[in-house]
Amino acid sequence: MTPGGKLKSAIADGKFFITAEITPKLTTDADELLQQAEPLRNRVVAVNVTDGAGARVTMSSLAASALLQRNGIEPILQMNCRDRNRIAISADLLGAAALGIENVLVVTGDNPGAGDEPDAKGVFDFEASEIMALAKRMSEQGTIGSGRELSHRPNFAIGGVDAPFDPPADWRPTKLAARAAVGMQFIQTQFCYDPAVTARYVSRLQQHGLLDRVALIIGVGPIASLRSAQWMNEHLFGVSIPDAVMQRLQAADNQAAEGHRICVELINTYREMAGVSGVHIMAPAQSSQRIADVIDAAAVA
């Protein structure tokens, strides 16, 4: 039996939950993809499958998500704005629903010039909010953008992304509120290694009533080394690893083990933070087993 609706149920239940992420490899081997995801089975409610992350070619997110779905691991299909026009986006959403894939996370997509095909042309026919609105329209009205009716409606859980920061006094979550209005039901964030900043960001979202409508899933991950942390600060948009974390890594005899401990601590901190629905664990360039080990440790911490 294939899974379905675990993420929706977790959001509806209001209990703290965990999602995780894999980046498909440059392969045609389905077993290789399944081996990547296997350590996450029964440890998370759903597994994100990235869509050309870093503007690099991999197995398609749709195909990889279908393989996970078929093998009993609930996927979250990532869909970027960069690579498809509205015809292809509509077709892929219909195809995803036909394959039993209900969770869709919409991202803008990295600049093609940063990837391994720098001459590729970005499409950007739709903005993220427009893809969200389309997915909602399909689910609730049973039509595509042109108004043509579907013979069968999908039932999507629609997600977006954000990068938490320390909000100034006059900041309002206008963009997130607009996305919630057109269909966004959950937010997965960039890495958040400073709980104090995260708490202030979450508080502001609560003040404006956003978290009454949208589930907030905070991004975390085990840091492999001080050098990795420095790279993340320099190259990942919206990531700011605080000096205290850097100092812990630098002083550690085993930096990978310290990065593991820091991630476990963050998970348990966010578990108790009002307004946070769950965490999303990412470990770029590391094995999924690292994520599994963190989850196991956090469960007994």
pLDDT category of residue 1 using cuts at 50, 70 and 90: very low
Q: Which residues contact 140 (CB under 8 A, 6 or more apart)?
A: 153
What percentage of the chain exceeds 70 in pLDDT?
Answer: 98
Q: Strand, helix or coil at 41?
A: coil
Query: Domains along the chain?
Result: 1-162 (3.20.20.220), 187-301 (3.20.20.220)
C-alpha closest to that of 64 among 25, 117, 107, 112 = 25
Q: Specify the pLDDT at position 84.
A: 97
Mean of per-residue pLDDT scores for the chain:
96
Average pLDDT estimate for 142-152: 97
Could you count the other beta carbons within 10 Å of the beta carbon of residue 271?
15
Please say whether the dihedral angle defined by the alpha carbons of residues 117, 118, 119 and 122, taken in this order, is positive or negative.
Answer: positive
pLDDT(4) > 60:
no
With a cut of 50, say whether residue 231 has pLDDT above it: yes
Backbone phi and psi for residue 157, each to the nearest 5 degrees, phi listed first: -100, 120
- Backbone torsions φ then ψ of 191, nearest 5 degrees: -50, 135
**CA–CA distance, 21 with 284 (Å, rounded to integer):** 9
Residue 299: what pLDDT?
Answer: 80
Summarised one tens digit per residue, pLDDT across range 24-81 is 999 999 999 999 999 999 999 999 999 999 999 999 999 999 999 999 999 999 999 9
pLDDT tier at 300, thresholds 50, 70, 90: low
Give the number of other CB atoms < 10 A from CB of residue 208: 14
Q: What is the pTM (predicted TM-score) of this model?
A: 0.96
Confidence of residue 3 (pLDDT cuts 50, 70, 90): very low
Q: What confidence tier does 285 reach under pLDDT thresholds 50, 70, 90?
A: confident
pLDDT at 2 over 60: no
Q: Are 51 and 78 in contact (CB under 8 A)?
A: yes
Tokens of 192: 């958040």
Provide the strand spans (E) within the chain.
17-22, 46-49, 75-80, 103-107, 157-162, 186-191, 215-220, 278-281
pLDDT digits (tens, 9 = 90+) for 162-172: 999 999 999 99
